[in-house]
Amino acid sequence: MPAIQIAPSILTADFGRLAEQVREAEAGGCDLWHLDVMDGHFVPPLSFGREVIAAVRAASDGRFIEAHLMVERPGEQFADMAAAGAQRLIFHYEAAGNLDRAREHIGAARALGCQVGLAINPETAVRDIAPLLAELDEVTVMLIRPGWGGQAMRPDLLTKVTDLAMRVRAEGVALQIEVDGGVKAHNAHSCAAAGATILVAGSAVFNAEQTPQAALAELRGAIG
């Protein structure tokens, strides 16, 4: 299995001491940051925007940042996200609506010098986005309904990860496969076994029971 990367999401972090939480997770060996931007339309809640991305950029020792845009009009946010320090822009296929519009978004993100990721909600099939795989750096498979941290993963959705991993091998494309939602130490291995190469971990890393360092060590141990 390729090296699996762990990408903490700060949704359940203590925003009153965000810089410290970033440094704690980095001391725990996280690989990159997964920052969840929500607009109150594509998903019901609001989360944060460019100011918080810039704050993570400033607190980090330089680790890679991806912005997961759960917003209705992602293209309008690309320039701000890139300027704030996001190096990969992940938009939702459901927000783009079709392959042509998704290709426009891919081009716009590339024009800003960013990597491009495409996220799919539970109801979107892998075959719907299959024509785009060669044009992307990453696909995010949502294992929950997007909008909230701390939900339980739907393990039935891991078949989409297996499907994607098969297509990646068959087509010989360089694509990271990310899983997002409900990743914990007890299910991290099944995500990796299905073919995920990046695990997003929100409440598994930032919770009341453990330090981020201890939580990351447990997750890393679970992947084996």
Query: What's the min distance (Å) between Cβ of 112 and ligand DX5?
Result: 22
Which residue of the chain is nearest ligand DX5 when measured via CB? 202
Do 27 and 215 form a contact (C-beta atoms < 8 A)? no
Segment lying near Zn ion (by CB under 5 A), choices 61-69, 188-196, 203-211, 214-222:
61-69
Residue 180 touches Zn ion, criterion: CB under 5 A:
yes
Pick 38 or 172: Cβ nearer Zn ion: 38
Query: Which of 96, 178, 87 is CA-nearest to residue 129?
Result: 96
Known catalytic membership, residue 36: yes
Alpha helix (H) ranges present in the chain?
A: 18-27, 50-59, 78-84, 93-96, 99-111, 126-129, 158-171, 188-194, 212-223
Q: Which residues bind ligand DX5 (CB under 6 A)?
A: 9, 11-12, 34, 36, 68, 70, 144, 146-151, 180-183, 200-204
Say how far apart CA 18 and CA 24 lie, in whole Å.
10
Pick 68 or 105: Cβ nearer Zn ion: 68
Residue 24 touches Zn ion, criterion: CB under 5 A:
no
Known catalytic membership, residue 180: yes
Exposure string over 185-196, b if 16+ CB within 10 A, otherwise e: bebbebbbebbb
Q: Which of 25, 30, 43, 68 binds Zn ion (CB under 5 A)?
A: 68
Residue 66 touches Zn ion, criterion: CB under 5 A:
no
181 touches, from Zn ion, ligand DX5, none (C-beta below 5 to 8 Å by class) = ligand DX5
182 touches, from Zn ion, ligand DX5, none (C-beta below 5 to 8 Å by class) = ligand DX5
Tally of CB atoms within 10 A around 40? 13
Structure tokens at 72: 């209705």
Q: Which of 14, 36, 80, 163 is catalytic?
A: 36
DSSP class of residue 13? S
Q: Which of the residues 82 through 111 are near Zn ion (CB under 5 A)?
A: none
Pick 69 or 168: Cβ nearer Zn ion: 69
Q: How far is CA 71 from CA 15, 24, 27, 123, 176, in A?
A: 21, 29, 31, 17, 22
Residues with catalytic annotation?
36, 180
Residues that bind Zn ion (CB under 5 A): 36, 68, 180
